[in-house]
A = this chain, B = another copy of it.
Amino acid sequence: MGYELENMIGLLERTPAALNTLLRGLPEVWTETNEGENTWSVRTVVAHLIHGEYEDWMPRSRHILQYGETQLFSPFDREAHVQFGKDKTLSQLLDEFAKARAKSLDELHGLKLTAKDLERRGQHPALGSVFLSELLATWAAHDLTHLHQISRIMAHQIREAVGPWARYLGVMRCAGHSEAA
């Protein structure tokens, strides 16, 4: 997993810049719209990603290293980002995400995790026993699930504009599978 952790980091360190390149300056019709009532806009997704940096990935990693399985993770409030995201522009959120992610990765490097550390376990309130290695892989996968979601939200905005081609476009038929983001 030492090798694989490098692979996770390779992705994690690229995501903020990739989102920045894709999203900054895009017409708001792509980024401020959503998929219908009670769904997220692209801006909301970026706010959620920032929230994960503050409350989820490194805090839970430290939790595992400190408490192991003796203490449950604090539940992650998946709506909390709504509060701190609501008064910020997408540009501000993209800047904040880049900064927060860089800080998280600095901290991760500072832990100098060993193969043995990665096999340490924590207790997830719903999933039960989980490895630190699984938490860190999930961090990368979480970036990907939200990149997947972003492409789907954006495609939703032009589902009628594409006319009959919609049937050829998989993203138009993605039902959005996440229970938890």
Band of interface residues on A: 35 or more
Q: Least Cβ distance of A89 to chain B in Å?
A: 17
Q: Is A178 an interface residue (CB 8 A)?
A: yes
Q: Which of B10, B155, B178 meets A170, CB within 8 Å?
A: B178
Return A55 CB to nearest CB of chain B, in Å: 16
Question: How does the 8 Å CB contact mask read for A141-181 relative to B, with 1 for contact and 0 for none?
Answer: 11011011111101100100111110111111110111111
In contact, A145 and B161 (Cβ under 8 angstroms): no
**Residues 1-27 of chain A, each 1 if its beta carbon lies under 8 Å from chain B, else 0:** 000101110110011011111110111
CA distance A22 to B165 in the complex (A): 27
The chain A residues found within 8 Å of chain B, CB to CB, are 4, 6-8, 10-11, 14-15, 17-23, 25-27, 29-30, 124, 127-128, 130-131, 133-135, 137-138, 140-142, 144-145, 147-152, 154-155, 158, 161-165, 167-174, 176-181
Would you mind naming 22 contact pairs between A and B with Cβ atoms under 8 Å apart? A7-B27, A7-B30, A8-B158, A11-B154, A127-B164, A130-B163, A134-B162, A135-B165, A137-B161, A137-B163, A138-B162, A138-B165, A141-B155, A141-B165, A144-B151, A145-B155, A148-B155, A168-B180, A169-B178, A170-B176, A170-B177, A173-B177
